[in-house]
Amino acid sequence: MTLLTLSALETLPQEIERPSRRDDIGVGIVHFGPGAFHRAHQAAYIDTVLREDPRWGIAAVSMRSRGTVAALAAQDGLYTLAVRDSRPSLRVIGAHCRFLGPDAAAETQALLADPRIGLVTTTVTEKGYCLAADGTLDASHPDIVHDLSGADVPASVVGWMVSGLAARRAARLAPFMPMPCDNLASNGAKLHAALVAFARVRDADLADWIAGEVRVPSTMVDSITPASDDLLLADVTAALGFEDHAPVQREAFTQWVIEDVGRPFGPDLAAAGATVTYDVAGYEKAKLRILNGAHSTLAYAGLLRGHVSVSAAMADADLAQFVDAMISTDIVPMLPAVAGFDVDAYRQAVLARFANPMIVHRLDQIAQDGSQKLPYRLGDTLDANRRAGRLPAHVVAALGCWVAFLMHCSREGVPIIDPAGARLFAAAAEGDATTVVDRLVQLNLGLSASIAADVALLGALRKAASAAFDGRWGDVLSRGAQSQ
Ligand code: CS2
């Protein structure tokens, strides 16, 4: 079958939305990490922007493998976005116009130095920012050590950005605006601080320039995007009549909240549906703690209870009730109020989104990288509760499920997909749940080292992990009754 390329656009079935692709599209954005989430989310907004303003085409940079960029390049950057909802739809996106793999370092460097590039966005997952547990640059991270040793081609996104900013400064050009699009609280402030810290090791003047001249907005990104699978490929190919090797799928709901940093972002993202606001922190916290916190909880508890997908876990009434209670009892009371944001409506909407039967979002996808995700998703809620003198029993139970999940993986020989996977595997291999909790706390892995001094919390965590590991579900899921 013929591949989806520009020449296919005219013959696509009528009902498939297509890009208003013009020959004059220029590259205005460099994006690191063109995985499914980026293609389903930011790229769809940019595709809308390009209808009005052709300057903001995306150069997709993949630092590790050529797979995705090669597939996109072969299709003239076109791919299908399948919206899986009660009213499913297909849209061909055409927002990308350059495709740079690990073999294209010189081109990437040249693009970052090019003043036409206004925005450098990233979706490299939480671990991709090379941050330590306290959210600052991890100077001992192998990629940072590599980049700071003066290697020609950076391995980290922080290294890439600093090298691009250095080139801008050397040429007396304005900096580009870095824009992180991953699920980290205060992602803009964290990336900014990491860029400054990285530059400081090499060149104090450059560090000062980045501190003073470069603005990094924080963003909240949201749209449930299950990994692309064979079924999607087959569905899309059948509907298009063309072969597409880079399709993505997501729910209809999509949200992009961007911090207003007092400078234009370049593309008019607000006109394309993004929210630009001074108060991104409120949205960010609500999303990370409610949606992502509940997601991770469903992932670990759901996998332990034999479920495969989020919607299947939501069909487990005890689990669904537990997660709902966790949001209301432990999470919402610790959220700052955001003007015009109805948190209860948000809670209900999130739970309804999870139950969407059209989306098969695998729990094992969400369960990955727990040591990186949990501090933002559940840890911040835990801390806020402790500061308020409360013991958030549901959150403790959810963390106990993570520990039990690690113990099962380790004892059944199932690899733990996490940057700290080998250490987690070793920590969970032997001993009872109490011992494993204590080890993780000591290692500051997923569970904060500060818990060691919090006797009540440590005791509750040990109990929760034991109950979850033993499968005493009555105890795990009724934790709410003990909330204080
Ligand atoms: C999920 C998120 O994989 C995960 O960890 O919790 O990717 C989630 O689907 C998105 O943040 C939704 O916007």
DSSP 255-315: EEEEE--SS--SS-TTTTT-EEES-HHHHHHHIIIIIIHHHHHHHHHHHHTT--BHHHHHT
Q: Give the tokens for residue 119.
A: 């925005």
**Do 15 and 152 share a domain, yes or no?**
yes
d(CA 117, CA 129): 21
**Do 272 and 285 share a domain, yes or no?**
no
Beta bridge partners of 180: 122
**Do 301 and 435 share a domain, yes or no?**
yes
The residue written with tokens 């130095």 in the block is: 113
Q: Which value, to the nearest 10 degrees, does the dihedral of the CA atoms of residues 289, 313, 35, 192 take?
A: 10
Beta bridge partners of 55: none
Ligand 1: residue of 292, 303, 354, 368 to mutate (most ligand atoms within 8 A of CB) is 292
**Is 1 a member of any domain?**
no
- Assessment of whether the complete model's pTM goes beyond 0.90: yes
Max CA distance (Å), the chain: 67
Tell me which residue has its CA closest to atom 5 in ligand 1: 366
**Do 46 and 13 share a domain, yes or no?**
yes
Is the Cβ atom of 356 under 6 angstroms away from ligand 1? no
Beta bridge partners of 79: 93
**Do 261 and 357 share a domain, yes or no?**
no
| Residue where a domain terminates, one of 261, 278, 295 | 278
Nearest atom in ligand 1 to the alpha carbon of residue 377 is 6
Give the pLDDT of residue 484: 39
What secondary structure does DSSP assign to 170-208, as a single string?
A: HTT-PPPEEEE-SS-TTHHHHHHHHHHHHHHHH-HHHHH
**Do 253 and 391 share a domain, yes or no?**
no
**Do 237 and 298 share a domain, yes or no?**
no
Is the Cβ atom of 307 under 6 angstroms away from ligand 1? no
Tell me which residue has its CA closest to atom 8 in ligand 1: 224
**Do 236 and 99 share a domain, yes or no?**
yes
CATH number at residue 399: 1.10.1040.10
| Residue where a domain terminates, one of 254, 278, 302 | 278
**Is 440 a member of any domain?**
yes
Is the Cβ atom of 255 under 6 angstroms away from ligand 1? no
**Is 312 a member of any domain?**
yes
**How many helices (H) does the chain have, and how many strands (E)?**
22, 11
**Is 127 a member of any domain?**
yes
- Give the dihedral sign, CA 156/162/166/167: positive
- The number of domains in the chain is 2
CATH number at residue 163: 3.40.50.720
Give the pLDDT of residue 99: 98
**Do 332 and 268 share a domain, yes or no?**
no
**Do 187 and 313 share a domain, yes or no?**
no
**Is 248 a member of any domain?**
yes
| Residue where a domain terminates, one of 236, 258, 278 | 278
Distances (CA, A) of 334 to 286, 329, 419: 10, 9, 29
Q: Give the tokens for residue 236.
A: 């899309």
Give the pLDDT of residue 339: 86
Nearest atom in ligand 1 to the alpha carbon of residue 225 is 9
Give the pLDDT of residue 352: 97
**Do 308 and 438 share a domain, yes or no?**
yes
The answer to whether the beta carbons of residues 57 and 26 sit under 8 Å apart is: yes
Give the pLDDT of residue 449: 96
Ligand 1: residue of 183, 362, 376 to mutate (most ligand atoms within 8 A of CB) is 183
The answer to whether the beta carbons of residues 221 and 181 sit under 8 Å apart is: yes
Is the Cβ atom of 249 under 6 angstroms away from ligand 1? no
**Do 237 and 121 share a domain, yes or no?**
yes
**Is 235 a member of any domain?**
yes
- Mean pLDDT, consecutive 10-residue stretches, the chain (484 aa), reads 94 94 88 98 98 97 96 98 96 97 97 98 98 96 96 96 98 98 97 98 97 98 97 96 97 97 95 96 96 98 98 98 98 92 95 96 98 97 98 98 98 98 98 98 97 98 98 86 45
Q: Provide the domain limits for residue 267.
A: 6-278
